[in-house]
Structure 1
Amino acid sequence: MDPAAAPLRIAVAQVNVTVGDLEGNARKLARFAADAAQTGADLVVFPELALTGYPPEDLVFRPAFLDATRHWLGWLAGELAAGPVALVGFVHRDRDLYNAAAVLQGGQIKAVACKRFLPNYGVFDEKRYFAPGRRALVLHLRGVALGVSICEDLWYPHGPIREQALAGGAEILLNLSASPYHMGKPREREGLLITRATDLGVAIVYANLVGGQDELVFDGHSLVVDAGGQVAARGRPFAEDLFFWDYDPAAAAVARWHEPRYRHMPVTPEEAAQVEHVDLDEPAAGGGPGGRLPGPVAGPGVAVPGVAGPGTAPEASRPPLPPRQVEVLEGEAEVYAALVLALRDYFEKNGFRRAWLGLSGGIDSALVACLAADALGPRQVTGVRMPSPFTSAASLDDAEAVARNLGIGLETIPIGEIFGAFRQALAPLFGDRPFDVAEENLQARIRGTLLMALANKFGGLVLATGNKSELATGYATLYGDMAGGFAPLKDVPKTLVYRLAAYRNGWPGGPVIPRSVLEKAPTAELRPGQKDEDSLPPYAVLDPILEAYVERDLPAAALVARGLPAEAVRRTVHLVATSEYKRRQAAPGPKITARAFGRDRRYPITSGYREAVPGDGGSAG
């Protein structure tokens, strides 16, 4: 390290990419790298699997996809030949497949770092696709040692980051990440980075993906944490971003000398042997290390006026970093932003332009209308009132008020006559059996059919408006209110629905959801005087049961022991167990809790297990 050396300028490119759109992703990365070069960056760090998108799932088993990945990585290396060093996440094919980061410099792929710790819990399934890496890569750029790791590698106190910092002398750990969002996750990550930085005496540059991908939302919130545990730079939440950090090696060294912990951590010979060093300050000498990928790649490169090549940018030619302030979201603001991003990206990335939804006058459909209008624009959203003989005039008025306040389209299709025709057709079979759930569900299915017909005729996608509490307990109608291509509230408990609605009403411009919607007792209005609490425990009781039983897998007996009503626990546990077949047929929706239905929580449909609740006389086996 030269004490007189100019600071190393690192750019963090927080990008929103699309799984499988290799050309579009590569061109986006090239644009971000060019912007980084304009600000004099020596190095630009992209997120995990930024070239392929995350998670690529079974696409990685297709040789043509892997060939195209290799082609566009080569194209990108050529495009960035005259720009900064770039770390790009991609799927690396050797004898096996690896979740990897390519080091691009001067038109060459200079090195490849492979992810060692492959998550296989929750929404992750990486051991299905990838082999673990075995080496710990340390780059040397402008005299600074930089350790390269990928997402989960940073969550372990041992492994590559420890080897890089303690055995490899890394001053900065560069982590490429695709960490999905759930409530509170950004703060959890920040705490982890601070712990790792201070324990190892290193700075950490963390580049996280942003955007919606099917049921996952990536929130961005990229970070730079210095060796003292202070946040030095921060990425925007739920939006693309490019930000910079200047690392002063001399100042960092003095600060590091004051922290004694890392000095006394023993390094084993095995850990030292794991470290692979690549000097990016040396002239190119052919291929990348270990012969893993060829070095030279054909491509014109992007010359940036006034900015020298990587590692050589003179201080005088480098523009000063612009002032920067990033809003930190908390609570309902954070969740609402996640839902809007998820909905917008699902539509845009799948080519849908218009949203349809049943606008009932209830809280769930009102909140979905808000999310759709904010994500797509009011002109692209149409609510449909479909009154049955049991729909109140107040509900019709509330639905009209929501549509008017948001500026979305509103159509009305009464279903009374259609409902009557169905009942008449079924009368010979139903006979004199009393009105029950069959007739209730008929109304919901008529509405689902009408919404799907509108989407087919005029284009667009139907939004299902059900929430997590309903989905958990099966309080929803297959092919009825569950009909749709995307379910924005699929992982949003009912009590959170109310908090999000109140949050949205606090935006500038005044409330958009009438107070009557917030205050009325929840009802499906499928029979006279119906209320949700006729079939379910009150949501204030139900949601804590679901949070403990579904998201944390606490035993039913433990919930009763904690004071939750035994009958409510018994009823909820039964409903959750018997509704799995419905959830398997539900539309995808964004994960925002610690454990979502779908790819996160997976239970068998056919199961003889029923968990005992104290006092019910049931069997635990």
Structure 2
Amino acid sequence: MTNRFLNLYHHDFARVAVGVPQCRVADPAYNAQQTIALAREADNAGAALIAFPELGLSAYTCDDLFHQRAMLDACEMALADVVAASITLSTVMIIGMPVRVDQRLFNCAIVVSGGRIHGVVPKSYLPNYNEFYEARQFNAADCSSAEAISLLSQTVPFGAALIFEFSDMPLLRFHLEICEDVWVPIPPSSFAALAGATVLVNLSASNVLLGKEVYRRELVRQQSTRCLAAYLYSSAGQGESTSDLAWDGQALIYENGECLSKSERFLEASHLIFADLDLERLAYERMHKTTFGQSVRRHKDEVEKFRVIHIDLKLPRDIILPLERTVERFPYVPADSKRRDEHCREVYNIQVQALTQRLLSSHIKKVLIGISGGLDSTHALLVCAKVMDRLGLPRTNILAYTMPGFGTTERTLKQARRLMTLIGCNTQEIDIRPSCLQMLKDLGHPYADGQEVFDVTFENVQAGERTSRLFRLANYQQAIVVGTGDLSELALGWCTYGVGDQMAHYNLNASVPKTLIKYLINWVADATDMGDSTFSFVRKEEDTTALSNVLTDILGSNISPELVPGKEDVGTEQKTEDFIGPYDLQDFHLYYTLRFGFTPSKIAFLAYSAWKDEDVGRWPDVVGTRRHQYDLPEIKRNLRIFLDRFFRTSQFKRSCMPNAPKVGMGSSLSPRGDWRAPSDGESALWLAQLDKIPDDPNA
């Protein structure tokens, strides 16, 4: 048996497909052949199910031909062909066709697999306006009280309130509705989602009009968002009658508001789209958002109408089936340049508004901040500059201090000086080495006697001295201390308890991860370099290039606390990522742990899917950002560091963190907000799960 680690179904993903076959009006045999061909293609790709258009076996535009017995008999014969073909396929097919029930005709979706018809779902809402007159030929679902019908000598469930569940994957529960059903104020799929359906499928034959394609996409996006579900949409295309209408064959797959796949429109040939749905993610959202459960209670009568139909079909779990869904390497940073620009601007605006309000409410007009010449304090200083501009106060109300210590390099010290000068704040420099040496002497530390002992105490004396001075200076000058520690440091506990990275009067960066801080600074550097004045940080036009240059230099510096002296003047041997792992990976691990509560196995699978290949230019270029792949052993090694530090060693520091603005989903560790956990928890549970992951994914 092949190791399941590289199989997407093992991690609660499900591959689904939407097909738009070529059709011929009133030629069910031909339409069945086209449908089967696409189903085989979907099956070869490992899809669990495939959805086809409304009335696909007959074509939608048959009009009064639907009342011809020859047509209806031919549709049943075509369905028999589909059922026979399904015996050799693992994919569930969802077919549209007219069905006779008790001397009435219904527009139906039919679920077929393994030589069986699992259920028949009639259309609930029949449009009878503008170009539509379906009520002329069909009856709505509530015109029949039948719960089962006989079709092709099989007794099968019948009704609009059916949910189909894969016995091999309980999270894969799908519901069917047909075209107009999703256009009404409360679609049937809304109640189906409350009843447990995670995948909503719409068989449609929507004709195309100017602007209708955008409206359809928005309709599907919103329904998937409101229902916390995936939504599959298939629409009729090439071959439908164009007597009075045209057809574009649109196919869509959305998951909780995100478009995973969409087809080209107006294609002449049959076509197919795929997507890998994250069913666990949908289930988590429903569990996490307790108002979903409240909605179930309030619509109990509708929810209880649904019947669950079990499909005994083995999914392809024991083969290598890699994830084809795009997994962002930097989940906190949009890969699309337009969205990234909007994202960066919004983060700055959120932080500026938050600090502005804090100053107004406290009647304080000054902020005090320590500047190291590194990433976090640089970003915080840029925010402080815009706060003063918004309040109409001079930037000299920013009291900026750089405090060189034993490990401070000349490079970062120069960067700090250049940055403070260009921003125009009140610049001060305090050498903390004499006072730190005195403290070490008072402690009886061997460094005070000339020994090169660079232990944790040696480092914390410097960090503590800086923080102590900042708070006393703020008190003396009637200012508030602005904290600079970021989300990544808080997650990993990479901060000394009670000092600047963990404690402040107000912390700007507590919900901003390190990878996003890089992009925020890079965004300012690029905008400044291009002369973009819409978010300007300099007062003189001639300083724009200088600011861009210093920000680029800061991005190119090693991430380091600079508390241990290096052997060279141009660098430091103390690199943060040597101790806690690369932030590129650790921010990835943080996102999926905090935002969705995924298991270590799934997080490793996602990380491997994102980072296993060389960068081919998808990811935005930022100075200092790593751009090569990680193998699975490297991912596991760093995930172990993350899990142990996050769950076992760091919570006590987060339990008393200062106020800070939340800037995004899954980006807060505040004990008053997104994350509340015991300070003395254990990590053994997560580490034990991590140990079950193979080092070789192909083993």
In the superposition, the TM-score normalised over structure 1's length comes to: 0.46
Larger Rg: 2
In the superposition, the TM-score normalised over structure 2's length comes to: 0.41
